[in-house]
């Protein structure tokens, strides 16, 4: 059985599973992550809990009746942005995120990129070959099922293809008509938030920063109202990550990331960058924080920049919008209606963010292995179409050239 995985930037690679952990524990207790082993299929374990989930309330509505201080409501309302949403439209169940954070967090040894490098190394040790800088142009299909990936350098035959890009790229036909049936519009629309992200190195002055510091805007309603209208907010909350916090002296040159929420509609970055930079660094200066040197426009990635990095995403960093009680259940799962095509990544179930995207990879691997086992046990007979569960599979075995 041959496998091909298409990566987020529409590059091409082949990969296998990972069995060792590249994580390290922080000083706080770890967060326990539960895997329901459903191979990407959504199940409700305890239906009796649904009434307690405040399913008809928004996060902002719940917080408004939970706190007398509006600043606390604004603080806890930021959890909606963890999944690319507004607290005024996202479900109240997101209020539970604080409980996971209160138990502690995990970091990755060597930085976030080390997770990808570790998985790549494990895959290569098991025979996988990576083809970098190889744009994928089409996922090919024959006799009703996937049979490979077409690239700028040739065709890669495969019995199963794992797509790690934004599912909207499939739904819009960016990778050909053969894969369009894998994802429906309801799985990708409406879109989640995008962001304006500065990444730079500088010396900070004036404020004692933590690893994570949030500088709140004055009026959260105004911020999210602007975002809902597709506009860049003028009174936005800023998240700052001091990536070298604790590893270097506070007044030393260190790496920073600053995130300001943005709408998922691509606009002219040359028109957006100047007012965005002015707003962000004036706001930080008002809090007493400055950087030397001050980052230039090259340090800023706009929603249009993210759309270029992740084709067909419209710059949305979290896939489908989380707005509405059932939004999470509308994300596409690991299995698709197209036999042989599977999904993983932030646009698929269970959602965006490194832990969730990593879990989606585990779901996809489990689905592939289950279907592969079903193929081995099934008689080699001609079967039309396919189902969401294991079925008889046909097709010639091919090897990568």
pLDDT of 375 above 50: yes
pLDDT of 14 above 50: no
Give the model's pLDDT for residue 391.
33
pLDDT of 195 above 60: yes
Give the model's pLDDT for residue 7.
61
pLDDT band (50, 70, 90) for residue 26: very low
Q: What percent of the chain has pLDDT over 70?
A: 81
Q: What percent of the chain has pLDDT over 90?
A: 67
> Rounded to an integer, what distance in angstroms lies between the CA atom of residue 279 and that of residue 276?
5
Give the model's pLDDT for residue 197.
97
Task: Find the radius of gyration of the CA atoms of the chain.
Answer: 22
Most confident among 110-119, 197-206, 239-248 (mean pLDDT)? 197-206
Q: Where are the domains of the chain?
A: 1-189+318-401, 193-309
pLDDT band (50, 70, 90) for residue 135: very high
Give the model's pLDDT for residue 310.
93
pLDDT of 294 above 50: yes
> Of the given ranges (72-76, 242-246, 378-382), which has the lowest mean pLDDT?
378-382
pTM equals 0.80
Give the model's pLDDT for residue 44.
60
Give the model's pLDDT for residue 106.
77
| pLDDT average, residue stretch 272-276 | 89
| pLDDT average, residue stretch 136-159 | 94
pLDDT band (50, 70, 90) for residue 397: very low
pLDDT band (50, 70, 90) for residue 372: confident
Give the model's pLDDT for residue 279.
93
| pLDDT average, residue stretch 356-366 | 94
pLDDT of 102 above 50: yes
Give the model's pLDDT for residue 49.
67
Mean pLDDT across the chain = 83
Give the model's pLDDT for residue 29.
34
| pLDDT average, residue stretch 171-181 | 95
Most confident among 30-34, 238-242, 322-326, 372-376 (mean pLDDT)? 238-242
């Amino acid at each position: 059985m041959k496998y091909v995985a298409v990566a987020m930037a529409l590059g091409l690679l082949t990969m296998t599973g990972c069995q060792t952990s590249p994580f390290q524990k922080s000083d706080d207790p770890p967060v326990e992550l539960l895997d329901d082993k459903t191979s990407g299929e959504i199940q409700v374990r305890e239906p009796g809990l649904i009434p307690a989930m405040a399913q008809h309330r928004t996060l902002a509505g719940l917080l408004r009746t939970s706190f007398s201080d509006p600043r606390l409501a604004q603080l806890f309302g930021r959890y909606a942005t963890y999944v690319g949403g507004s607290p005024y439209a996202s479900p109240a169940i997101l209020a539970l995120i604080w409980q996971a954070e209160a138990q502690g967090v995990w970091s990755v040894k060597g930085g976030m990129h080390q997770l990808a490098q570790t998985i790549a190394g494990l895959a290569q040790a098991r025979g996988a070959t990576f083809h970098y800088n190889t744009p994928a142009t089409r996922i090919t299909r024959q006799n009703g099922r996937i049979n490979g990936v077409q690239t700028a350098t040739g065709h890669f035959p495969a019995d199963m293809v794992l797509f790690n890009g934004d599912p909207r790229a499939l739904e819009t036909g960016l990778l050909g008509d053969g894969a369009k049936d894998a994802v429906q519009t309801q799985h990708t629309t409406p879109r989640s938030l995008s962001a304006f992200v500065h990444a730079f190195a500088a010396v900070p002055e004036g404020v004692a920063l933590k690893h994570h510091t949030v500088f709140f805007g004055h009026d959260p309603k105004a911020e999210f109202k602007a975002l809902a209208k597709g506009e860049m907010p003028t009174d936005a909350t800023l998240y700052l990550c001091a990536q070298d916090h604790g590893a270097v002296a506070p007044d030393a040159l260190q790496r920073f990331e600053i995130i300001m929420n943005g709408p998922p509609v691509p606009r002219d970055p040359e028109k957006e960058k100047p007012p965005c930079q002015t707003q962000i660094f004036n706001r930080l200066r008002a809090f007493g924080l400055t950087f030397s040197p001050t980052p230039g426009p090259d340090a800023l990635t706009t929603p249009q920049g993210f759309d270029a990095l992740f084709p067909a995403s419209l710059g949305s960093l979290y896939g489908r919008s989380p707005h509405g009680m059932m939004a999470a259940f509308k994300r596409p799962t690991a299995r698709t209606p197209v036999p042989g095509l599977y999904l993983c990544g932030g646009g698929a179930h269970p959602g965006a963010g490194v832990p969730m995207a990593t879990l989606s990879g585990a779901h996809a691997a489990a689905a592939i292995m289950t279907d592969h086992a079903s193929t081995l046990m099934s008689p080699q007979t001609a079967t039309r179409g396919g189902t969401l569960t294991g079925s008889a599979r046909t097709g010639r075995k091919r090897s990568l050239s």
